Structure 1
Amino acid sequence: MKDVYLITASFVGEIKRDFRGYVKMAAKAGYAGLELFNCIYGGFGPQELKNYLASYGMTAISAHVNVEDTDSQLSYLAEAGCRYVVCPMLRVESRDDAYRKAELLNALGQKAKAAGLRYAYHNHDNDFDVYDGKTVIDIFLENTDPKLVTFELDAAWAWRAGVDAADFVNRHAGRFDLIHVKETSRVLGPEDDMHALFAGAKREPDGRFILTPEMEAKFKERQKINCKLGDGIINMPELKKAADAQGVKAYIVEREYAYTGDNYTTILADREYLSALE
């Protein structure tokens, strides 16, 4: 696996505190480039960002952009050299809402295409919620135009919903340009509800939650499901086989938790694990 990217959402908050250090860390670990996140570009203009990443031998392949920010970001991302703009998630309340959101994805895909970009949708576990016999993600897959919308399968969120990521890719061959690589030690249960955990918690100016000692302890325990690649429930070799067979364009590491205790050695271990799958 030669071209592996790193999303800057990894180690949430770090990219805001030290953008340049983050880029250097990713380059040192051997990543081909970045997937940008939340309109955080280090204060660079689009061409400046492209040149800065190029100075480290990297590119920005894609960017996670909230739906409401899409229009304002398309020209920046195209000029910065991105190939994809990715919807990080959508809240869906019903089957009818899922069909409406599929049409929204088509509309955003048309805008992205006009800007020279490809639009993608990134799943979470809630995208496998079932309404009247169909999952949200199946409704999206069946009701979006493949010429306008591709998908970025997050392997861990699929498995956390109890869905085998490799089987899912095989069932929908041709729809996945991007794969988010991260590990999970188990399927999620009611005890993993983050909304309940953070209920009433205040936030720092940068968006981080201010946790009580009890919240902190529960959160740290929950984060341990983000274990080392190959040590969890995901069969990464099978996922790679399925994804490669259907023409995936890039693998993107997302690391929610530094299981080694250090950000750099964690993403380095992820990169080395993926290199061994070649």
Structure 2
Amino acid sequence: MITRRKFIINTSLAAATVLALPSFAFTMDKKEIGLQLYTLRDELPKDVKSILEKVAKSGYKTVETYGFSIKDQFWGLNPVELKKILDANNLKALSGHYNLGSFLYDGNTEELIAAIEAARILKSEFLTIPWVDEPFRRNIQDYKKIASRLNEAAAMCQKAGLKLAYHNHDFEFQQHDGTTGYEILLKETDKDLVYFELDLYWVVRSGNDPLKLFAANPGRFKLWHVKDMDKANPALNTEIGSGSIDFKTIFKQAKESGMKHFFVEQENNYNPGTFEAIKTSSDFISKNLI
């Protein structure tokens, strides 16, 4: 029988152990390192199974998909088949990039409905919109229309147990009569339904400060793209920790931003190759950022 005295002693010893090992206590809240699979777009469609095995071996626990379409599904695999490969490698597709066909422009929900079903089968948490074509984002009214469509899609996602997120590039930060497209999207979307995946590279590349966005819009950036900027040529990416973006300072404000998950992405300039690059990024993050 455990007496009150023994209970107090054991509890005190346990507390002392945690205090003596602060690094252990911190790891309890570590974020899992994710990878946006677009990073491996040249390799992945050729052999999904072996590529995802290499992703898992490179230190990643989660992934973000891309490229889904009603016709080709995921690189020739249907969502059930892809889920089996992910499960075999202990990978979770927490988010996916879905273009949604023409939904943002004309409201056609065919692709959106298919995307929601695919995301549900993968047991994703977020369905993320990655891009808006140039003809449909030229002025304030265009962005107001996009915001309205995002609200509509987010309501459909919520009914299916999903969350909707919007991923930025740099064009959202262009000025339109004293405001930016991004400001319109933040202001005119339902903060309880529409979330944002902040691509840190594109924010910095556009001349903006992620920390100011966090402070002005706390809690809205549930997802991040962690993508570094080459020091010699800002138009190029590089491995995390090798470029000019101060990720250590940014990660300290993860709580204020609302970040739940993040995904490494590198679109070019791999050194010396794609798998070495994602391993370098994973190693730097695990040792220095989380």
> What's the TM-score bracket when you normalise by the shorter of the two chains?
0.7 to 0.9
Structure 1 residues 46 and 225: CA distance shift in structure 2, 3 A: closer
Tell me the residue number matched to 1:177. 222
Give 3-state SS (helix, strand or coil) of 2:208's partner. Answer: coil
Deviations 1:113-151 (A, max 9, x none): 122110000000001011011111111001100222100
CA distance in 2, matches of 1:222, 1:70: 37
One-letter amino acid of the counterpart of residue 165, structure 1? P
Tell me the residue number matched to 2:119. 77
Structure 1 residues 108 and 88: CA distance shift in structure 2, 3 A: same
Structure 1 residues 223 and 16: CA distance shift in structure 2, 3 A: farther
Structure 1 gap segments, 5+ residues each:
187-220
Structure 1 residues 223 and 170: CA distance shift in structure 2, 3 A: closer
Structure 2 gap segments, 5+ residues each:
1-29, 102-110
Tell me the residue number matched to 1:67. 100
Q: Which shows bigger deviation, 87-96 or 46-55?
A: 46-55
Deviations 1:58-78 (A, max 9, x none): 111111000313222211210
TM-score by length of 1: 0.82
Tell me the residue number matched to 1:190. none
Residues 225-240 of structure 1: pairs in structure 2 closer than 5 A: 225-240=236-251
CA distance in 2, matches of 1:223, 1:140: 26
The percent of aligned pairs where both chains have the same amino acid is 30
Tell me the residue number matched to 2:129. 87
Tell me the residue number matched to 2:258. 247
Tell me if the contact between 1:183 and 1:230 (Cα under 8 Å) persists in the aligned partners: yes
Tell me the residue number matched to 1:36. 65
1:118 aligns with 2:137: no
Give 3-state SS (helix, strand or coil) of 2:222's partner. Answer: strand
Tell me if the contact between 1:5 and 1:253 (Cα under 8 Å) persists in the aligned partners: yes
Deviations 1:204-255 (A, max 9, x none): xxxxxxxxxxxxxxxxx97972123223231101111112333311010111
CA distance in 1, matches of 2:235, 2:186: 31
Give 3-state SS (helix, strand or coil) of 2:40's partner. Answer: coil
Give 3-state SS (helix, strand or coil) of 1:121's partner. Answer: strand
One-letter amino acid of the counterpart of residue 249, structure 1? K
One-letter amino acid of the counterpart of residue 227, structure 2? K
Pick 1 or 2: higher relative contact order, CA cutoff 8 A, min separation 6.
1
Deviations 1:140-189 (A, max 9, x none): 00110022210000000111111122332222111111000001136xxx
One-letter amino acid of the counterpart of residue 125, structure 2? R
Alpha-carbon shift at residue 259 of structure 1 (Å): 2.7
Q: Pick one of 54, 58, 64 that aligns with 2:91.
A: 58
1:17 aligns with 2:62: no
CA distance in 2, matches of 1:2, 1:248: 10
CA distance in 2, matches of 1:33, 1:232: 23
Structure 1 residues 67 and 45: CA distance shift in structure 2, 3 A: closer
One-letter amino acid of the counterpart of residue 249, structure 2? E
Tell me if the contact between 1:223 and 1:256 (Cα under 8 Å) persists in the aligned partners: no
Alpha-carbon shift at residue 47 of structure 1 (Å): 3.4
Tell me if the contact between 1:166 and 1:243 (Cα under 8 Å) persists in the aligned partners: no
CA distance in 1, matches of 2:124, 2:171: 27
One-letter amino acid of the counterpart of residue 81, structure 1? K
1:163 aligns with 2:208: yes
One-letter amino acid of the counterpart of residue 63, structure 2? L
Q: How many residues align?
A: 244
Tell me if the contact between 2:224 and 2:259 (Cα under 8 Å) persists in the aligned partners: yes
Tell me if the contact between 2:239 and 2:266 (Cα under 8 Å) persists in the aligned partners: no
Name the larger-Rg structure. Answer: 2
1:266 aligns with 2:277: yes
Structure 1 residues 227 and 46: CA distance shift in structure 2, 3 A: closer
Give 3-state SS (helix, strand or coil) of 2:198's partner. Answer: strand
